[in-house]
Chain A
């Protein structure tokens, strides 16, 4: 679907062969900013997200999956049987005319289908192919079967930073590695495409696990571990040496209470009404407060529990203390800030009706992005795309649909 104004990526043609989150999210970001994105789906079942939901009434239906909707707005859908030679030929025909190919299939499957970069490169020398898998295209785990959970915990992020000592490390509660990998892939795909005239097409091998392992947990720990031979693990409660820096309970939820610099601590004291317990001069030092964390948090909690999280946030912020409320999804959807910024968008879908999505995450005033069209029905644009981008005549398309290679 072409947005109503030229986006930053107007004229860029993208083919996506993705499932679930990582590749679909990457291609959706490209679509958000005006690229023409054609999503190739397996003919019988489509993107696996179509089976994951969430569904209205928890009743599965391939056109009613919320996750599919969220990751696939602004795209067209072509349904193909890529396990057949004819289906593979059709997809390769699309790729010969494309600028970018985003996929997250298992490397062994892509090789079996003749859709790996080595096979594609001779006929698509200018193609920027982006593969986003849990472990990447090389290395001993490349062909492992894995989901977001497996990739995320291969990064040491839960081990180091999330969860209580002695209990299991934690994922974020979403498809954290898939989203992160999708963002990383988008940045590198755009870079490779921008310089394509000078350097030619190429293959970008993105491992979601490696991206987080490097950029997040490795960045902050690997230099220290390599030098000192020691490493740390999760503690479960925020920063351990200083205080306050912890999520604390309020009357109606939680707030992230943080005050490190002296001015922030003074702000927190003022927000609390300058209680005597916080008055000692020694407490103006963040490490001294860390050593007295028990009393600091005990007294702070009495205060936070007497207020709503928004009251705690507002009073702290008014006094220069960077405390924030832990918003849940309902509060975010209703939040005046996101409303004022156009971050909650409603789209019409022929089967789901009105569906909300978030706005595009980057604001470009001269070429705005965002969702304008709903996610496509499975194979909705097969005939149209094969006839235009695919360069196939009606008779050929009829034959392919009759043989079950392409959606009717």
Chain B
């Protein structure tokens, strides 16, 4: 990808104290839009996401975690030991040169490091300071401890994910994390608009619980208008509108197709695609209400029909008949499917340490401002540029601070 002369956030500088996955994605979002982003981290407390296997070429190192690099791409890295007062001082001096500060620690952690909003507004009066705690900075649950994977429990999402009303099935990774990084970036951008108009910065707060809570909107309305309390529904339509609406097994190991029928036209297309089997001629199935009443039988019949068919070919065929159907992809398919290949969703990049790796590129295609996506940062890759170039440390001062473990 060729970098255009100017990306939309060119000139915006970000100090990203965020860690794990939420914070880095927030920084990445701003970076893909053109901001200059530095993740502040340290070997004194290595980010857990740098320690997760597998590693590039099998060599364990905090600079080689393949899981980590995609989500962190776009962030730079400056390594400061924030447990040392001199490290905190350097961080504050860096913030004086920044427009935006990001952090996703629990409430109070940044203040204890003398990097709270009140501390930083003194060195940068119009700073946009974005906190992204699990459940907000105030309120009875603000001190709650969670992991990204379990955060959806207190946002309700886990209560509606599963096969049926017997109970939830866990989403086995932290969906709330990348989602939260995106929403945190929205918060930073909103505050930048406000700053442009008023000259004022502010302390923006994104409660991760509340970002995920929006996905419970349909359940909220169902409760409010019908009194129903949402429970897991498998792959059925969240409001019970579609029938059939689900996944159906196809030929091969763990192959499935998604089919969603909401309108009579779509149903007629599906019937044609099936070759108008006798069971589908039942007059009760001509209406959406009739299909909803018979959804279990329809699903059984569909599963019998799809079982020996190829999911990719069947999706093409159903699309030709105007039916909303698509293959259910697995991880390998993401890399190989012609649609993602055509869109350049995943790209191979050369890491400065000499290995190649595959990460995601610009997942939104902007017609004029295409970012040049590079690998996730090696620890401290921007130390000299930032600490000498921007903050004006002399070579001697720099060397001394490295020796003292402050630049770490």
Contact = CB atoms under 8 A, between A and B. Distances in A.
Given A183-B186, A233-B331, 18 more contacts: A146-B324, A149-B245, A168-B234, A170-B161, A171-B161, A187-B29, A187-B185, A194-B192, A195-B7, A211-B364, A222-B334, A247-B170, A256-B149, A322-B150, A327-B156, A333-B223, A358-B213, A367-B190
Given A173-B160, A226-B358, A8 B193 contact: yes
Contact of B216 (A167, A174, A206): A174
A174 B238 contact: yes
A53 B363 CA distance: 32
Interface string A120-163: 00000000000000111111110011111111111111111111
Identify the interface centre among A54, A155, A234, A322: most chain B CB within 10 Å of its CB. A54
Nearest to B196: A194
B229 interface: yes
A146 B339 CA distance: 14
A175 B161 CA distance: 12
Contacts of B135: 337
A interface: dominant SS = mixed
Contacts of B150: 245, 256, 258, 322-324
Contacts of A255: 153
A213 B345 contact: yes
Interface string B157-169: 1111111000111
A358 to B, nearest CB: 6
25 contacts: A56-B226, A139-B338, A145-B322, A149-B235, A160-B172, A160-B173, A160-B330, A161-B175, A162-B171, A172-B160, A174-B216, A185-B364, A187-B183, A198-B8, A199-B7, A203-B367, A204-B367, A218-B70, A223-B358, A227-B56, A258-B149, A328-B229, A329-B160, A356-B224, A361-B207
A93 interface: no
A365 B8 contact: no
A200 to B, nearest CB: 6
Nearest to A332: B156
Contact of A198 (B6, B140, B182, B325): B6
Contact of B215 (A138, A174, A188, A220): A174
Nearest to A205: B365
B70 A223 contact: yes
Nearest to A236: B169
Interface in A239-259: 239, 245-247, 249, 253-256, 258
B19 interface: no
A153 B256 contact: yes
A199 B6 contact: yes
Contact of B170 (A52, A141, A238, A323): A238
A141 B331 contact: no
Contacts of B207: 341, 361, 363
Nearest to B211: A361
A192 B203 CA distance: 23
Given A149-B245, A219-B178, A235-B172, A136 B343 contact: yes
B363 A329 contact: no
Contacts of B331: 156, 159-160, 217, 221-222, 225, 231-233
B187 interface: yes
B205 A363 contact: yes
Given A173-B238, A191-B8, A200-B368, A341 B145 contact: no
Interface residues of A, number: 160
A382 interface: no
A91 interface: no
B220 A195 contact: no
Interface in B209-257: 210-211, 213-226, 228-235, 237-239, 241-242, 245-247, 249, 254, 256
Contacts of B241: 51-53
B346 interface: yes
Contact of B70 (A55, A64, A222): A222
Identify the interface centre among A223, A239, A357, A365: most chain B CB within 10 Å of its CB. A223
Contacts of B359: 219, 222-223
B220 A159 contact: no
Interface string A362-374: 1111110100000
Contacts of B187: 362, 364
Given A191-B9, A324-B153, A364-B194, A218 B210 contact: no
B interface: dominant SS = mixed
Interface in A350-389: 352, 355-359, 361-367, 369
B110 interface: no
B17 interface: no
B254 A145 contact: no
B140 to A, nearest CB: 5
A357 B206 CA distance: 18
Given A183-B182, A226-B358, A337-B135, A215 B363 contact: yes
Contacts of B202: 364-367
B317 to A, nearest CB: 12
Contact of A170 (B204, B206, B234, B323): B234
Contacts of A333: 220, 223
A185 to B, nearest CB: 8
Nearest to A35: B193
Nearest to B70: A219
Nearest to B249: A168
A179 interface: yes
Nearest to A131: B365
Nearest to B65: A223
Contact of A153 (B144, B329, B340): B329
Interface in B119-141: 135-136, 138-141
Nearest to B219: A329
A156 B334 contact: yes
Contact of A204 (B30, B213, B335, B365): B365
B98 interface: no
B366 interface: yes
B235 A171 contact: yes
B153 A168 contact: no
Contacts of A175: 215, 218, 238
Contacts of B330: 156, 159-160, 231, 233
A362 B205 contact: yes
Interface stretch (A65-73, A78-86, A288-296, A297-305): A65-73
Contact of A173 (B232, B332, B365): B232
Contacts of B361: 214
A386 B378 CA distance: 55
A401 interface: no
Contacts of B214: 25, 179, 358, 361
A172 B204 contact: no
B379 interface: no
A329 B173 contact: no
Given A66-B224, A356-B224, A139 B54 contact: no
